[in-house]
Structure 1
Amino acid sequence: MAAPLELDPSSSALAYFGSELRRYRSAAGLSQQRLGEMVNYTGALIGMIETAKRMPSRDFAERCDEVLGTDGALGRLWPLVNRSNFPSWFREYVELEATATSIRYFEPQNIPGLLQTEDYARALMEACWSDSIDRRVAARLERQRLLEHATPQLWAIVDEAVVRRPVGGRDVMRAQLKRLLELMASRRIVLQVLPYDVGAHACSDGAMTVLGFNDGPDLVYVEVHGSGHLIEQAEAVQSAQYRYDLARASALSPEASAAKIEAVMEEL
C-alpha cells in the first residue's frame, strides 16, 4: 500500500498547524488514538487535523500543548489558523479590531457580529453562504472573546429594522434580543435603536464601523458584497465620525432603546 503523501506545511496556516501537531505527537511517541484519548478528542479527529481536513478549536490546541509539553506552541499558532477562516479582504479588519480601544457601529441590517448569539450568527451564515458554515460561525464567536476584556469600549447604533427582523425565527430572535439586553445591563456595551420615525438620517448611506486606538489615528471600515474597505484619510474619517454623532443624536437613548427591545420581545 502506498504511503500517504506528506502534507505541505507551507500551503496554508491550517496545514502548518497539522504538520506541527504531527511532529510534536511523533516526538512524544504517541499514536493518534492515544493522543485523542489524552485530550478527550477522537483519534480520527487528530488525523483529520494533522492532514488539514478539519479546523482545530482553541481548546483543542491548548489541551495538546499541555499533554505534549510544547510550551504553548500550538496555542500561539492557533490565532493564525483561525484568521484563515475569514475572507482575505476581512483579515486586516479582524487584526485591527483585536487591538482597538473603542469600536463604534452603525448597522442598518443585522446585529453587529461581536454581539450575535451562535444561533443568530448561524442563521445569517446559512442565508449568505453555502459552505464552511461551522467554521465561519466558530470564527465569528471567537472574535467575541474581546468582550471578556475591559477594552474595547463598544457603542452600537442599530436601525429599528435590525431588532424587528426575526433572523432564524421567533425563538432565535428572542434569544438574541435577550442577549443584547444582558450586555446593556452589564454596561459592557452601549446600544441605541434608531427608530423608524426618524426618517432620513446622517448614516442613511449604509453600515460603518469606527475603530479607535490609543496609539494611532482612528479608522473607518465599510463593507459591500464580497469586499471590505478601510478608510484612513483624516478628512474622510472625521466626516464619518461627525455623521455617526448625528445619527447617535437622532437615536433613542440607551434606556429607551432597552424598552423598545423589550417591547419587540413581547411581540415575538
Structure 2
Amino acid sequence: MTVELSPDDATDPGLSPLRNFGNEVMLERTRMNMSRVELGRAVACGESLVAKIERGDRVPQREFTEGCDQVFPHGNGRFMRLWRLALRYAYPPWFWPYVALEKKATGLRMFNPRGSSGDRADPELRDRHPQGGPPQGSGGPCHRAT
C-alpha cells in the first residue's frame, strides 16, 4: 500500500531538498493527471520507485530527473536544478563534512595494518616480508617456529 502525499505538503518551508524534489514531482504528476505507473513508464522506472522519490525516501537518478524534465515540459529544466540541490543535501547532517572533503580529494589511500601495498611492489621488501608480516625467524609474538 502506498501513501499519497497531500499537495499542501509542498508549501512547507521546512522540507529537505530531497523531499521538496519529491513533492515537485508529485505536484506535476497530479497536475497532468498522471498515475505513478504512467510516470514510471515514461521515465523507465517502476511505480514503487516513483513513490519512494515522491516521499523523499530515495535519491533520484539523473536519468529519472532528465525524464521528468521531458515529461513535464512546463518545468523548463526545474527538475535538473532541484536534483543538483537535492544531491548536495541527500546525506545526514553529520556526514556533510565528509562530502566536502571528498570533493577536495585528489587521490585515495588505503591503510592495511599488515603491510602496505607499496611493499608488494618493491621486490626487495617483498622478499624480506613474503606474507606482509615480520621477517621469517624474527621470533615475533605471533611467529611459530617451524
TM-score bucket (shorter structure): 0.5 to 0.7
Q: What is the Cα deviation at residue 57 of structure 1?
A: 0.8
Distance change >3 Å, CA 5–CA 30, structure 1 → 2: closer
Q: TM-score, normalised by structure 2?
A: 0.60
2:50 alignment partner in structure 1? 46
Select the residue among 78, 82, 86 that pairs with 2:87: 82
Select the residue among 92, 97, 101 that pairs with 1:93: 101
Q: What is the Cα deviation at residue 16 of structure 1?
A: 0.6
Name the % identity: 28
2:111 alignment partner in structure 1? 109
Q: What amino acid is the match of 1:78?
A: W
What SS is found at the alignment partner of 1:10? coil
Q: Give the distance between the partners of 1:4 and 1:33, measured in 2 at CA.
A: 14
Distance change >3 Å, CA 81–CA 35, structure 1 → 2: same
Q: TM-score, normalised by structure 1?
A: 0.35
Q: What is the Cα deviation at residue 17 of structure 1?
A: 0.4
Q: Give the distance between the partners of 1:37 and 1:58, measured in 2 at CA.
A: 16
What SS is found at the alignment partner of 1:41? coil
Distance change >3 Å, CA 49–CA 5, structure 1 → 2: closer
Q: Give the distance between the partners of 1:49 and 1:12, measured in 2 at CA.
A: 13
Cα RMSD between the aligned structures? 3.0
Q: Which of the pair is proportionally richer in strand?
A: 1
Q: What is the Cα deviation at residue 52 of structure 1?
A: 1.2
Distance change >3 Å, CA 52–CA 9, structure 1 → 2: farther
What SS is found at the alignment partner of 1:63? helix
What SS is found at the alignment partner of 1:40? coil
Q: What amino acid is the match of 2:107?
A: Y
CA contact (8 A) 1:65 1:74 kept: yes
CA contact (8 A) 1:18 1:50 kept: yes
Q: Give the distance between the partners of 2:72 and 2:5, measured in 1 at CA.
A: 25
CA contact (8 A) 2:53 2:60 kept: yes
Q: Give the distance between the partners of 1:11 and 1:66, measured in 2 at CA.
A: 25
Distance change >3 Å, CA 76–CA 13, structure 1 → 2: same
* Pair 1:65-2:69 in alignment: yes
Q: What is the 5 A alignment of 1:13-24?
A: 13-24=17-28
The answer for unaligned runs of 5 or more in structure 1 is 98-102, 111-159, 165-194, 198-259, 261-268
Greater C-alpha radius of gyration: 2
Q: What amino acid is the match of 1:90?
A: Y
Q: What amino acid is the match of 2:18?
A: L
1:139 alignment partner in structure 2? none
The answer for unaligned runs of 5 or more in structure 2 is 122-146
